[in-house]
Amino acid sequence: MIKRILAASAALALSAALAQAQSVKIGLVAPFTGIGAELGQQIDRGVEQYLKLNADKIKPLQLKIIKRDDKNPSGADSKIAVQELLTQENVDALAGWIYSPNAIASAPVVTAGKKLAVIMNAGTAHITTMSPYFVRTSFSMWHAGYAMGEAAAKQLKAKTAIVGYSDFPPGKDSLAAFKRSFEANGGKVIDEIPMGGAGQVPDFTPFLQRAKDKKPDVLFVFVPAGDHALAVTKTYGALGMKDAGIKLIGPGDITQDIKLQAMGDAAVGLITMHHYNADLDNAENKKFVAAWKKDYGPDSTPDFIAVGAYDGMAAIVHAAQATKGKMDADAALKALAGWKYNSPRGPISIDPETRDIIMNEYLVEVVKGKDGKLHQKLLGKIDNVKDACKAEKVGPCAPKS
């Protein structure tokens, strides 16, 4: 008899557990084809690694990821993808967005759809103000630029700086952020040089020569990672600016891990500020990088986009657990306000006021390791950096009256 009751109650418990195994549908929007495919892959793999390494945290929920290609930064494809994820697939949460214009175009749809939407990359500062359902686990362009301004004045002891930037929004944002904090810390930006667009790689010689002639202490550069950054470091080397005593600095976007090795020895000595690099020395990151290399090959590496996706999934899982899989948007947002997490990039949290991320920024220098590869050596860090654009209410980041 007792056995039977036990068996029955066990069966009951089992069926209850099964009933509790809520499935949570997540729509993932990123460019999986075209020039952004390399970045979309980082999102894809970051999500995959989170699911693999944290299977125990997901239980008893079942996550279903529905991927959609948003193709290009036109906004239209992204918007249609979000529309259909919400109305056809009835997803419980949205995630992704590499390109800022796509997140901007999707904002009204996200607001109308009333679902949690986690931005895993798009870095234009004011995006999080565009929909109350946006939560960002990546960065704002202001994080690194602002921190670098402070570090350049305090740690690198620079008095004068020249800013060279690719003439598109991330470049302009970086310039504004760097200038504001560098000058607040007693430095002076003596010249601002727009260095062509983000599409093609220009010849950087005239821009860098102009900077060299004015003899600043540091040259702060924002250009797209990869070929642009490579061309800048090579030109910097060829013009002998290092010997002239001008330090080349920038946000960590220009030393994106997946592009770093291709930059070659010209990149050695480059000093950058960012919230993540694959060489960060902490237990979470070691685990993350090791799992990554095991799955995708020894030459592959996660970068800041992958970690944005990893933490984005962590945020969604946290919200899903807090709402027991129901993913009611308001409850999910409440669960994420002030949420703290130990990420591969170190401790992070979500600012309850802005729904943007608060994280550490690391000052690093590119060095050549014993293995012949380039690594990023830690020089210093700034704890708990907020998005300064919203904190100081600059331009479009100011709350609309």
Partner 1 sequence: MSATPVRSDNPAALALAVRHRFRLAETLPWLLALAFYFAFPRYLGFGTELLITVLFAISLDLALGYAGIVTLGHAAFFGAGAYTVGMLAKHEIWTEPVSGLFIAAAVAGAVGFASGLVLLRTTGLTLLMLTLCTMGLLEEIANMAAEVTGGFDGLDSLPIKPLFGIFEFNPLYPYTQYLYVLGVLLVCFIFVRTLVYSPYGHSLTGMRENTLRMHAVGAPVRMRLIVCYTISAAIAGVAGALWAQANAYVNLSVLGLDRAATVLIVLVLGGYGRLYGGIIGAVAYMVLAHFLSKAYPTAWQLGLGLLLVAIALFARGGILGMVDNLTRPYKERKAQ
The footprint of partner 1 (CB under 8 A) covers 32-34, 37, 40, 67-69, 71-76, 79-80, 83-84, 86-88, 100-101, 104-105, 107-109, 111-113, 124, 130, 167-169, 172, 197-198
- The contacts of residue 295 (CB under 8 Å, 6+ apart) are 45, 48, 49, 52
Q: Rounded to an integer, what distance in angstroms lies between the CA atom of residue 164 and that of residue 190?
A: 11
* Residue 83 beta carbon to partner 1: minimum distance, rounded to whole angstroms: 4
Q: Rounded to an integer, what distance in angstroms lies between the CA atom of residue 92 and that of residue 50?
A: 18
* Residue 67 beta carbon to partner 1: minimum distance, rounded to whole angstroms: 5
- The contacts of residue 159 (CB under 8 Å, 6+ apart) are 186, 187, 188, 217
101 vs 251 by CB, closer to partner 1: 101
**DSSP structure class, residue 72:** S
Burial grade of 289 (CB within 10 A; 0-12, 13-18, 19 or more)? buried
Contact assessment for residue 138 and residue 122, using Cβ atoms and an 8 Å cutoff = yes
* Residue 130 beta carbon to partner 1: minimum distance, rounded to whole angstroms: 7
Identify the CA nearest to 121 among candidates 107, 101, 146.
101
Region of 94 please: left (phi>0), alpha (psi -120 to 50) or beta.
beta
Region of 224 please: left (phi>0), alpha (psi -120 to 50) or beta.
beta
* Residue 349 beta carbon to partner 1: minimum distance, rounded to whole angstroms: 27
* Residue 194 beta carbon to partner 1: minimum distance, rounded to whole angstroms: 9
106 vs 233 by CB, closer to partner 1: 106
Q: Rounded to an integer, what distance in angstroms lies between the CA atom of residue 352 and that of residue 40?
A: 28
* Residue 273 beta carbon to partner 1: minimum distance, rounded to whole angstroms: 23
109 vs 119 by CB, closer to partner 1: 109
76 vs 398 by CB, closer to partner 1: 76
Q: Assign 119 to helix, strand or coil.
A: strand
49 vs 102 by CB, closer to partner 1: 102
* Residue 195 beta carbon to partner 1: minimum distance, rounded to whole angstroms: 14
* Residue 104 beta carbon to partner 1: minimum distance, rounded to whole angstroms: 5
132 vs 264 by CB, closer to partner 1: 132
Helix (H) or strand (E) holding 112: helix 100-113
My answer on whether omega of the bond before 251 falls inside 30° of 0, hence cis, is no
Look at the block and give the residue holding tokens 């990546």. 138
* Residue 77 beta carbon to partner 1: minimum distance, rounded to whole angstroms: 8
Q: Give the alpha-carbon dihedral of 49, 51, 55, 61, to 10 degrees.
A: 170
Q: Rounded to an integer, what distance in angstroms lies between the CA atom of residue 289 and that of residue 344?
A: 9
172 vs 334 by CB, closer to partner 1: 172
33 vs 342 by CB, closer to partner 1: 33
* Residue 100 beta carbon to partner 1: minimum distance, rounded to whole angstroms: 6
* Residue 322 beta carbon to partner 1: minimum distance, rounded to whole angstroms: 25
Q: Give the alpha-carbon dihedral of 277, 283, 288, 289, to 10 degrees.
A: 50
Helix (H) or strand (E) holding 151: helix 141-154
104 vs 319 by CB, closer to partner 1: 104
- CA 383 to centroid of chain Cα atoms: 17
42 vs 277 by CB, closer to partner 1: 42
116 vs 260 by CB, closer to partner 1: 116
Cβ count within 10 A of residue 345: 27
Identify the CA nearest to 143 among candidates 158, 164, 128.
128
